[in-house]
C-alpha cells in the first residue's frame, strides 16, 4: 500500500515541493526538506519541503492579497465549500489511505469517519456563510448602532498530528466560511493528507491563495506565522506545553489566539450504570486511535463494588480487538505516531503494574511504533502516570466510594476537555453537567460529536471553541457604526455657519 503514495498525491508535490502557496506547489526558498515516514513500519514515504520564516512570509502575503476579494461574496463561498465537501466524499479511499499510512489511524475509520466528518464540516459551515450577520442597537430617537461582523483577514493555523484530515477541516472550514483566508501548518509527523485536501479544494474551484499550506516544523514554520504582522489571529491545536509558547508569542504580538490542547479526561461509572455499555465506552474511548485522541476518557472512575466486574467486562471486549497494521480493514488499533511518542508512553508506564489486554490478536508490524493496549488498576495517584496526558492505549481504573468523591476525582486534574458519565439517575446526570469542569460532558455516551456541536477546553485544555456556530464567531471581529439622522449637538456648543 505504501507504494501508492506517489499515485495518490499531486505529481507536483514530488517534482516541485510540498508547500502550497498562492495555488502553486513549490519548495522552501532554501530548498530544505525532511523525510516523512510511516508509523506502521517506519518506512520512508516521501520528502517534504521544510518551510522557514521566508516561506511563511510568502504564504501570508499570498493569503493577504486575496483576502478582500474572498470576503466579498458569501454565496460563492457557500457553493464552493459544498463542492469541497463533495470532493472529499468522492475521494474517501485516497484520503483514507494516505491518512492511515501517514498517521496510523486504521483504514476502517479513515475511509469512513475521517472523511465523513471532514466533509460534514464543510457542509455545515457552507450553510453558515450568510447567517453570521450582525444586529442593531437602538440608542435614542434618531440614533442607531449597527453591529457588524467582519473577517479578520489572514488566520495563521497550526495543527496536531492525530486525526490530520479532521484537524485540517476543523480549521479551514469555519475560517473560510467567515471570509478569512488561511495559512495552515499541519504537524510534521503527518502532513500528507492535507496536501491531497489542498489539491481537492483546488479541483473544487478554490481561488489561489485563499488556503496556503506550509509543511515543516513548529519553531521554523509555525512560530513565524504567529508573529507575522499580516496574520490577525492564530488558531492552534497541540500539546499544553506548545500551547503555552504559542499563547505567549501571540500575547506579545497582541493577537487573539484559539488553543485546543490536551486532556486527562475522566469516564465515571456509577453503581446504577448500564455496565456493559459503560465498559464498551471505556474501551473505545481509551484505545481508539491507539489512545491518541485529545478527548480520550482513559481516566476511569468506577463505583467500588463494581470494579472487578467492570474490569472483567473491559478485558473481555479488549481481548477481541485486533492490534496491528492499520491498513488491514480488520484492524481496530494501530501504532503510535513516532518513536518519541512510544518512548514517552513507555516512560510513563515504567514501574506501573499494567496488564496487556489484547494479547490474543496483537500483531505489531516490525519497525512500527506499536504499544500493547493495557489496563491498570493499581498506581500511585500522584505519579506522572496518574497526572499527565498519556496519549497511548492505557486505561487507568480507580475506585470511588461516594458521589462527592467521584466529582472531586473527576476534577482532580489541571485539564478540562471532556468527560463521559454513566448513570441511570437523572439527578446524577444533572450534577455531572453542572459539576464537572470541562468543555463537553457525554452522558451515557462517548465521543458523540457533530459539526454543529461546539467543543473547547476548559482550564489548561485550551481557550476558545471548535465546531458549531461558536467556532465561526471567533473568526470574525465586531465593528460598530453609529448613525444619527437628527443632527448632532456638541456638549461644547456650536455656531451657525453665518456667524
Ligand atoms: P505539539 O504541541 O507537539 O505540536 C502541535 C503543532 O505545533 C505541530 O504542528 C508543531 O509543529 C507545532 N509547533 C511546535 N512547536 C511550535 C512553536 N514553538 N511554535 C509554533 N508551532 C509549534 O502537539 P502534538 O504532539 O503534535 O499533538 C498532540 C497534542 O495535541 C496532544 O496534547 C493532544 O491532546 C492535542 N490535541 C488536541 C486536540 C483538541 O481539539 N483539543 C485535538 C488533537 C490533538
Ligand atoms: Mg508520518
260 is known as an active-site residue: yes
Q: Is the CB of 160 under 6 A from ligand 1?
A: yes
> Do the beta carbons of residue 306 and residue 271 sit within 8 Å?
yes
Residue 19 CB less than 6 A away from ligand 1: no
Query: Is residue 499 domain-resident?
Result: no
* Same domain assignment for residues 286 and 215: no
Is position 359 within any domain? Answer: yes
**Does residue 490 belong to any structural domain of this protein?**
no
Per the residue annotation, which of 171, 233, 264, 288 is the catalytic one? 171
Please tell me whether residues 325 and 462 are part of one structural domain: no
What pLDDT shows up at residue 421?
98
Question: Quick one: 327 and 311 in the same domain?
Answer: yes
Is 314 marked active-site?
Answer: no
Do residue 65 and residue 182 come from a single domain? yes
The continuous run of DSSP H or E covering 55 comes out as helix 53-65
269-278, pLDDT tens digit by residue?
A: 999 999 999 9
Q: Is 374 left (phi over 0), alpha (psi -120 to 50) or beta?
A: beta
Hey, what's the cell of 67?
A: 483576502
Q: What is the pLDDT of residues 6-25, one digit of tens each?
A: 999 999 999 999 999 999 99
In a domain, 106, yes or no: yes
Mutate which of 50, 235, 239 to test ligand 1's pocket (most atoms within 8 Å of Cβ)? 239
Inform me whether the pLDDT recorded for 3 exceeds 80: no
Compute φ and ψ for 116, nearest 5 degrees.
-65, -40
Question: Same domain, yes or no, for 332 and 373?
Answer: yes
Ligand nearest to the CA of 5: 2
By percentage, how much of the chain surpasses pLDDT 70?
Answer: 99
pLDDT of residue 486: 85
Cβ–Cβ under 8 Å, residues 59 and 21:
yes
CATH number, domain of 316, equals 3.40.309.10
Nearest Cα residue to 216 out of 338, 55, 15: 55
466 catalytic, yes or no?
yes
pLDDT tens-digit profile of 278-330? 999 999 999 999 999 999 999 999 999 999 999 999 999 999 999 999 999 99
Report which protein residue has its CA nearest ligand 1's atom 18: 219
Q: Which of 94, 99, 109, 466 is catalytic?
A: 466
- Ligand 1 center from residue 187 Cα (angstroms): 7
Is 171 labeled as catalytic in the residue annotation? yes
Which bound ligand lies closest to the C-alpha atom of 35? 2
Q: Is the CB of 187 under 6 A from ligand 1?
A: yes
Same domain, 415 and 308: yes
Residue 497 lies in a domain: no
Pocket test for ligand 1, best of 242, 248, 454 (most atoms within 8 A of CB): 242
Q: Which residues contact 491 (CB under 8 A, 6 or more apart)?
A: none
pLDDT of residue 309: 98
As a whole number of angstroms, the distance between CA 176 and CA 235 comes to 13
Counting from 1 in the atom list of ligand 1, the atom nearest the Cα of 170 is: 40
Q: Which one of 99, 188, 260, 389 is the catalytic residue? A: 260
Q: Is the pLDDT of residue 138 over 60?
A: yes
> Model confidence at 1, in pLDDT bands (50, 70, 90)?
very low
| DSSP labels, 356-412 | E--GGGB-PPTTS-----EEEEE--TTSHHHHS---SSEEEEEEESSHHHHHHHHT-
Which residues pair with residue 62 across a beta bridge?
none
> What distance in angstroms lies between residue 186's CA and the mean position of ligand 1's atoms?
9
In a domain? residue 449: no
341: three-class secondary structure by DSSP: helix
pTM for the structure as a whole: 0.97
Average pLDDT over residues 219-237: 98
Q: Quick one: which of 145, 152, 146 has its CA closest to 134?
A: 146
Q: 235 CB under 6 A from ligand 1? A: no
What total number of domains does the chain contain?
2
The answer to whether the beta carbons of residues 283 and 358 sit under 8 Å apart is no
Q: What percent of the chain has pLDDT over 90?
A: 96
Ligand 1 near 40 CB (within 6 A)? no
Ligand 1 mean position, distance from CA 277 (Å): 32
Whether 188 has a pLDDT exceeding 50, the answer reads yes
Whether the CB of 99 sits within 6 Å of ligand 1: no
For residue range 26-77, list pLDDT tens digits in order. Answer: 999 999 999 999 999 999 999 999 999 999 999 999 999 999 999 999 999 9
pLDDT reading at 496 higher than 90:
no
Q: Helices 192-203 & 92-103, crossing angle to 10 degrees?
A: 160
Region of residue 128 (left: phi > 0; alpha: psi -120 to 50; beta: else)? alpha
- Is residue 185 within 6 Å of ligand 1 at its C-beta? yes
Residue 402 sits in the same domain as residue 464: no
Average pLDDT over residues 472-490: 94
Q: What is the model's pLDDT at position 497?
A: 87
Q: Is the CB of 231 under 6 A from ligand 1?
A: no
Average pLDDT of every residue of the chain: 97
In the three-class reduction of DSSP (H, G, I as helix; E, B as strand; rest coil), residue 151 is classed as strand
Residue 489 lies in a domain: no
Higher-confidence position of 187 and 351? 187
**Per-residue pLDDT tens over the stretch 106-129:** 999 999 999 999 999 999 999 999
Is the same domain home to 178 and 301? no
Average confidence (pLDDT) over 418-430 = 98
Please give the residue range of the domain that contains residue 232: 5-261+457-480
Do 216 and 293 sit in the same domain of this protein?
no
Cα atoms in the Cβ-side hemisphere of radius 13 Å centred on 216: 31
Residues 142 and 203 in one domain: yes
CATH of the domain at 112: 3.40.605.10
Q: What does the pLDDT read at residue 498?
A: 81
Ligand 1 atom with the shortest distance to the CA of 462: 41
Q: Are strands 374-378 and 266-269 parallel, antiparallel or unpaired?
A: unpaired
Residue 339 pLDDT > 90:
yes
Output the pLDDT for position 141: 81
Distance CA 177, CA 60 (A): 19
Q: Which of 211, 190, 246, 168 is nearest to 5 (CA)?
A: 190
Pair 208, 275 in one domain: no
Q: Which of 26, 294, 297, 358 is catalytic?
A: 294
Please name the residue whose Cα sits nearest to atom 22 of ligand 1: 218
Same-domain status, 249 and 332? no
C-alpha to C-alpha distance for 93 and 222, rounded to whole angstroms: 30
Helix axis angle for 275-287 and 307-319, nearest 10°, is 50
**CA-225 nearest atom, ligand 1:** 20
Specify if 202 maps to a domain: yes
Amino acid at each position: 500500500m505504501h507504494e501508492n503514495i506517489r499515485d495518490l498525491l499531486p505529481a507536483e508535490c514530488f517534482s516541485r515541493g510540498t508547500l502550497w502557496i498562492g495555488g502553486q506547489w513549490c519548495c522552501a526558498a532554501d530548498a530544505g526538506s525532511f523525510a516523512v515516514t510511516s508509523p506502521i513500519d517506519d518506512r520512508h514515504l516521501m520528502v517534504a519541503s521544510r518551510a522557514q520564516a521566508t516561506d511563511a512570509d510568502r504564504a501570508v502575503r499570498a493569503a493577504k492579497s486575496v483576502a478582500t476579494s474572498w470576503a466579498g461574496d458569501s454565496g460563492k463561498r457557500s457553493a464552493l465549500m459544498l463542492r469541497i465537501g463533495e470532493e472529499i466524499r468522492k475521494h474517501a479511499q485516497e484520503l483514507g489511505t494516505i491518512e492511515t499510512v501517514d498517521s496510523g489511524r486504521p483504514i476502517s475509520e479513515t475511509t469512513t469517519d475521517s472523511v465523513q466528518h471532514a466533509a460534514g464540516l464543510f457542509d455545515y459551515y457552507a450553510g453558515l456563510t450568510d447567517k453570521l450577520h450582525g444586529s442593531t442597537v437602538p440608542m435614542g430617537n434618531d440614533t442607531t448602532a449597527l453591529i457588524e461582523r467582519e473577517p479578520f483577514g489572514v488566520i495563521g493555523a497550526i495543527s496536531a498530528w492525530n486525526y490530520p484530515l479532521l484537524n485540517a477541516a476543523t480549521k479551514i472550514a469555519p475560517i473560510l466560511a467567515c471570509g478569512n483566508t488561511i495559512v495552515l501548518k499541519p504537524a510534521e509527523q503527518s502532513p500528507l493528507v492535507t496536501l491531497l485536501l489542498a489539491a481537492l479544494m483546488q479541483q473544487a474551484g478554490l481561488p489561489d491563495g485563499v488556503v496556503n499550506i506550509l509543511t515543516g516544523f513548529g519553531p521554523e514554520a509555525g512560530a513565524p506565522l504567529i508573529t507575522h504582522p499580516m496574520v490577525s489571529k492564530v488558531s492552534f491545536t497541540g500539546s499544553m506545553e506548545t500551547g503555552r509558547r504559542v499563547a505567549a508569542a501571540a500575547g506579545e504580538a497582541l493577537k487573539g489566539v484559539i488553543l485546543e490542547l490536551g486532556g486527562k479526561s475522566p469516564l465515571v461509572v456509577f453503581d446504577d450504570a448500564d455496565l456493559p455499555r459503560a465498559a464498551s465506552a471505556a474501551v473505545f474511548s481509551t484505545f481508539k486511535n491507539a489512545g491518541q485522541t485529545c478527548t480520550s476518557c482513559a481516566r476511569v472512575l468506577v463505583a467500588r463494588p463494581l470494579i472487578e466486574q467492570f474490569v472483567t467486562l473491559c478485558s473481555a471486549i479488549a481481548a477481541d480487538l485486533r492490534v496491528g497494521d492499520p491498513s488491514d480493514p480488520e484492524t481496530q488499533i494501530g501504532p503510535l505516531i513516532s518513536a518519541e511518542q512510544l518512548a514517552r508512553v513507555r516512560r510513563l508506564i515504567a514501574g506501573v503494574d499494567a496488564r496487556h489486554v489484547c494479547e490474543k490478536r496483537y500483531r505489531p508490524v516490525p519497525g512500527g511504533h506499536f504499544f500493547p493496549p493495557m489496563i491498570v488498576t493499581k498506581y500511585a495517584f500522584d505519579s506522572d502516570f496518574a497526572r499527565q496526558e498519556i496519549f497511548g492505549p492505557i486505561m487507568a481504573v480507580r475506585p470511588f466510594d461516594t458521589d462527592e468523591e467521584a466529582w472531586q476525582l473527576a476534577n482532580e486534574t489541571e485539564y478540562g476537555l471532556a468527560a463521559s458519565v454513566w448513570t441511570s439517575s437523572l439527578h446524577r446526570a444533572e450534577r455531572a453537567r453542572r459539576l464537572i469542569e470541562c468543555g463537553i460532558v457525554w452522558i451515557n455516551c462517548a465521543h458523540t460529536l457533530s459539526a454543529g456541536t461546539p467543543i473547547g477546553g476548559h482550564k489548561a485544555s485550551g481557550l476558545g471553541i471548535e465546531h458549531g456556530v461558536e467556532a465561526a464567531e471567533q473568526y470574525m471581529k465586531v465593528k460598530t457604526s453609529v448613525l444619527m439622522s437628527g443632527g448632532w449637538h456638541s456638549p461644547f456648543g456650536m455656531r451657525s455657519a453665518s456667524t
